[in-house]
Amino acid sequence: MRNRTFILNQIIFVVFVSLSLTVNAQNLLLNPDAESGDTQGWIDVDDAWSASNDIAPHSGNYFFWPSRLDIPYTELYQDVDMAVYSASIDAGESYFSLSGWLANWDQYPHDRATLAIEALNGSNEQIMYLSHDHRSPVWTKYQIEGQIPQGTLVLRVHLIATRFVGSDNDGYFDDLSLEISTTAPTTYVTVSAENDETELPVDGTLQLSAETIGGSDAGYTWSSSFDAVATVDTTGLITAHQAGKFTIQAVGKSTAKMGFIELTAYNPEDIVFHTPETGVTWESTSLQEITWEVKGTITSGTLFYSLTGGSDWNEIVAIDSVVKQHYFWTVPDTNETFNNCYIKMTWDEGESMSAGFSIVPNTTAINDTPDAAHPAGFQLFPNFPNPFNPSTVIMYQLSAVSHVRLTVYNAYGQVVGVLVNEQQAPGSYQLKFNAGGLASGVYFYRLQVGANTQTQKMILMR
């Protein structure tokens, strides 16, 4: 395991784990438990997955695993046709319940298994995306529930594996289920922290509380996903032991319903990288924003990058004031792909490393001269990072003085922000879009220059 310290963006998950289903509710997934001995019924995006028994499955003889070891990020998905439920869906009377058992190889800080569900409309556009992550060697059941959005014709179930450590990608999935009901969730457990904290320092404590909605529990059984990082006692009091991200689960003693909260323990003096994010791919020569959070009283440091998994380092820049918490970096030019890249910050008494990412040759270099594909002499580039939470950078280029309007829309075509509306001179522009007040999902940003427009898609994933 490589020696690195990183903490992901903080997200609190409340997972509803009980849905009152109709009596005849059925599992709509084909081959939900890998017991066919292969990935029959699923779409293998990278030809990387198999039915495996390298560790003990949750049940049966097999589980799903991306056994092609050289891939840092990959997914398996299955589309379930919702046409037969369309009348109930459009009336707002259909609910889904997606569940599955997730695990990882026991090598801290562990790879990540993500269970996700996406709703697609008749134009194959995303109108809902919900997910839950798992990073622990213990088989754990997760359940994601909610109302099916009006206009949904397909529910797509995603199994996503992301490598954090070692050379294998160890996201494991077993015993999956997707059920549809006309009854909304009635009983579930929520978990919250005192003062809504999402972080605590190493050797510090944090008190949690649980509440059963739609039912009654005399108490809760508490457990931590990573006892090495943090433990929790019978009252919900957490004690942190080392830096890392972890999940605390509360199970109602009467209802047996479960709730979760994701938290982070940090060193009192530390730099925590938020970007690059795990598994992201950056093109060589592109401009990317490195972002971090400062814990304690660190004032200055030096940024480095590695293309070799940390075996050697190249200096990027000395940062006089780390409290600015970001730096725009031009990715080195390269004609080959590097899949084991890292950023690190060093300071007088320590260092911190980012999540692993990839660098690939640039296939979208900016041309100084407009071409036939861009008759108005402008170009709108993909935002970065994408997916993002909660900020992303948008770049565009103009070749002539023009009136420019840059607008952000949600998946329903509603305007959620106008970022630019003015005359601008020729040149390259970039701006930061903060989606702090918006819900997770797909958004579009459109650049209008005169009578011409270009549009790009971005995904806000909390």
Shortest CA distance to 230 belongs to which of 261, 274, 253? 261
Shortest CA distance to 98 belongs to which of 211, 186, 175, 192? 175
Residue 4 has pLDDT above 70, yes or no: no
The rounded distance, in Å, linking the Cα atoms of 32 and 28 is 9
Which amino acid, residue 437? G
Superfamily of domain 378-460: Macroglobulin (MG2) domain (2.60.40.1930)
Which amino acid, residue 70? D
- Token readout for 256 is 């047996």
Shortest CA distance to 255 belongs to which of 291, 295, 220? 220
Which amino acid, residue 38? D
Instruction: Break the chain into its structural domains and give their ranges.
Output: 43-181, 188-266, 270-360, 378-460
> For residue range 290-300, what is the model confidence (pLDDT) as tens digits?
888 888 889 99
43-181 CATH, one of 3.40.50.2300, 3.40.50.80, 3.50.50.60, 2.60.120.260:
2.60.120.260
Apex CA 68: angle with CA 65 and CA 72, to 5°?
Answer: 85
270-360 CATH, one of 3.30.70.2340, 2.60.40.10, 2.40.50.140, 3.30.365.10:
2.60.40.10
Two domains, one topology: 43-181 and 188-266:
no
For position 213, what pLDDT does the model report? 84
The rounded distance, in Å, linking the Cα atoms of 220 and 223 is 10
- Annotation: CATH topology of 188-266: Immunoglobulin-like (2.60.40)
CB 401 within 8 A of CB 424: yes
Residue 407 has pLDDT above 50, yes or no: yes
> For residue range 79-112, what is the model confidence (pLDDT) as tens digits?
999 999 999 998 888 889 899 999 998 888 788 8
Residue 38 has pLDDT above 80, yes or no: yes
Strand order through the sheet with 441-449: 415-424, 402-410, 441-449, 452-460
- Give the DSSP H or E segment for 88: helix 86-90
Instruction: Give the residue-averaged pLDDT of 42-69.
Output: 91
- Strand bridging mode 154-162 / 73-81: antiparallel
pTM recorded for the entire structure: 0.47
Residue 13 has pLDDT above 70, yes or no: no
> For residue range 308-347, what is the model confidence (pLDDT) as tens digits?
888 889 999 898 888 878 888 888 988 888 988 999 999 9
For position 25, what pLDDT does the model report? 63
- Give the DSSP H or E segment for 266: strand 258-266
Q: What does the mean pLDDT of the chain come to?
A: 83
